[in-house]
Structure 1
Amino acid sequence: MTPVRVLVISHEASRSGAPRVAAMVSRDLVEAGHEVAVLSRLPGPLMADLGTAAPAAVEPLPRVRRRLRRTRGLRGVTFALDTAVAALELLRHRPGLVYVNSTAAAVYLRPARWLRLPRVLHVHESGAVASSFLRHEHAAAELERTTLVACSPSVRADLAVLTGRPPEAVVLLPSVPDDDLVARLADLDPDRPYAADDLVVGCCGSVEHRKGPDLWVQVARRVREALPQRAVRFVWLGDLAAPVPGADEAGAEFVGPTTNPYPHMRRFDVATLPSRDDPFPLVVLESMLLGTPVVAFDVGGVAQQVGDGGRVVPAEDVDAFAAAVTELLVDADERHRLGTAAARRVDGLYSSRVFAERLEELVVAPGR
């Protein structure tokens, strides 16, 4: 195997799913003997993790360019500046392969073509979101000569429609949890206490409309009404831009971000995913890996993730969601059975070992 010099581009360094996959990609490529550098378009709390396996840096002047993007009338100037920065970064790193880990970083595709560099676009977004990012970066036309990678079967199908390619022409590389890291960090103490008799219904993710915090508040209200005598806590971990209406009345706790969510996730009795749109959320697999049953709406590839490790209900059906959560809270044996099945499913289908093997096949593929 001839080592490849790979530049991994992450659209940001938050602790959300796609940047954490970028960290896994860089680590696995380094362990396979490749020369890797990581570049994030924005700074964030994951920079230390991104730099663990390979040199990591942030694009120059990220905050200045972000402010320019928000200034009316400067869209063309901002796009030209972003493209110039991308071209300069490619010239500086001189990679043999440009690994763009999100359509939100698709601005790198055009200058990579100018420099005749092989390109991989690893897509973590649903069709509508991916199309929006590609249109924003004027990158839709660049997909023709780019190796496309989908994080889930649903994203693969979306990309086939978007590009006119057959689905099998899109590489399927399902996102997986970093099992060793999750297990190690989950053994630490959580940074906020839980009473021994609390039944904890948890959720992790940024608090935004797409993630369904308003639907989750409705679920909390219904579950509390169904179980008035039980000590039930609804705890959401993640960035909170503004208060969620009705949260206090429903007893839903939006506690903000934490540097280590995994001890909380281990403490959850039921993990929830109330998203309106989520192609293949890593947090579902991480919860399952920790032996926690999942209740989720049927969006993206979530049903394929959960399988026999929880309950999947029709999208935005709050009553069905609340009923599934209530059922699991009152039946400890069923929670245990589903949690055991969840951990077994992740170990068999979504292991980091399988991810590393598929990634290596992608990077060294002839005619890439």
Structure 2
Amino acid sequence: MLDRQQSGRGDSFRGPRGGPPPGRPPFDNRVDAPIRAMNRVGSNDFLGPGGQQSFRPGGRPGPQRGGDRAGSAAAGPQERQSSGRQQGPPAPPARGERAPEPAAAAEPEPEPEPEPEPASVDGLSEDEVRTKAKALLAELYNTKDVKEGIICIKELVDLGADVPLLYEVMMTTSLETKGTDWDMLAALLRSCAEESVLQSADLERGARQLLDNLDDLSVDVPKAPVQVGAILGELVASGSADLRALLEHIRTADANPDEIQDGEDTMLVGGGGAAKTVGSLLQKLAELKGEEAAHEAWQATGEQLAAFLPQADREDEAAVKSLAEKFGLLSIAC
């Protein structure tokens, strides 16, 4: 083994064995010149095939690899990708096998029916009639002007308002409002009927709608049957409503007349509201037309006062007499 290693000039740069190391030997092949940076870009080996970038001097592209290399023996024919298109008709079913039936098309779900809108008659909906009727009453009770009230009702009728609904709303609102001027309301309805602004048939239908709800109204307004009876008496006295028709509505209110069984009462009759309504009606009729005219009108209907009492009181003469005395009907309906 050599103890020394010669440099290019033959100088020894290692000392004797076991001695201290000499200084660093010179480099004969070192070039004293500025270092120039090489133009390097991303390598094809790391950045993928294509040879567009390379760490080689000058950015030369590297050779392609694998099956992408031109003329490579390992590169075989590229696999054909399936286009998803059926290559041919399906094979017919074997003998004895049933051909699969095509899947039935799903039935479309029925569209939800639109919610019914409030009933409207020739342009005025139920909500509009209620709103305008309440505003009309507020103006009437504030100004005490019956003529202006007649004009307002005529305008509502011309706009196509449901007259029975209009009458019902006016009565219901007046019952639910404190401080109602019933004489003013009666004067307005009587004047509208006399001037043919409101027709008898419409008023009678409105009375029926009101009577159907009278039993419920009397829970919050105990005097409702008496007030309604007085207004109905005003209509009968002015010839705007038929007494026989109104009595039938009172007796069968909140029920279909054909469904009333013997021995059963409607809610209005069973609760005592029907007797109060009839008593108040006849009382107002006698006040406006006289007792004799009221008696004749009552006799013409063929009704009996006991028919409007609850079932338990119809055979009780004392109960019938008490009702007649309360409303001053002893000479009219007894």
Q: Is the shorter-chain TM-score for this pair beyond 0.5, marking a shared fold?
A: no
TM-score by length of 1: 0.23
Q: If each structure's strand is expressed as a fraction of its own residues, which one has the higher value? A: 1
Q: Taking CA–CA contacts closer than 8 Å with sequence separation of 6 or more, which of the two structures ends up with the larger relative contact order?
A: 1
TM-score by length of 2: 0.24
- Is the radius of gyration larger for structure 1 or structure 2? 2
